[in-house]
């Protein structure tokens, strides 16, 4: 754990490299989801609902990655919730015939396990 003293004498930390990598990839994925949500938004009446949900989820993921990067105490909990819901959606997609969702299940599970192991950074 990399610690040093800030100008006010408090310990300050930097997010671990793995968290920073997750944040960069998560931000890119969230921006892609946001753009896909915009594309679906005006496609049909159902698209309006689905697009809005995708956009809200993308914004939540952007908030999560910012919080993780800056070591905000709320970010760890929100990460577990947001990425846990994403994992559940991938499981649902997998069991409804989308075999490619298996990749999302594996990656999501590993991501959650790694973030869980870094919970001490967010206390």
The three-class DSSP label of residue 72 is coil
- The answer to whether the CB of 30 falls within 8 A of the CB of 36 is no
> Which residues of 6-121 form beta strands (DSSP E)?
11-13
Per-residue pLDDT tens digits of the chain, which is 123 residues long: 444 444 444 456 899 999 999 999 999 999 999 999 999 998 888 989 999 999 999 999 999 999 999 999 999 999 999 999 989 999 999 999 989 899 999 999 999 999 999 999 998
What predicted TM-score, i.e. pTM, was given to this entire model?
A: 0.79
């Amino acid at each position: 754990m990399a610690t040093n003293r800030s100008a006010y004498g408090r310990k300050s930390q930097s997010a671990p490299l793995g968290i920073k990598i997750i944040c960069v990839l998560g931000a890119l994925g969230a921006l892609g989801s946001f753009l896909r949500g915009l594309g679906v938004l005006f496609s049909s009446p159902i698209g309006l609902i689905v697009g809005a949900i995708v956009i809200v989820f993308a914004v939540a993921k952007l908030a999560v990655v910012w919080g993780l990067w800056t070591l905000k105490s709320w970010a760890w909990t929100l990460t577990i919730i947001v990425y846990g819901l994403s994992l559940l959606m991938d499981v649902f997609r997998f069991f409804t015939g989308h075999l490619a969702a298996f990749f999302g299940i594996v990656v999501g599970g590993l991501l959650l396990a790694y973030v869980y192991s870094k919970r001490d950074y967010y206390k």
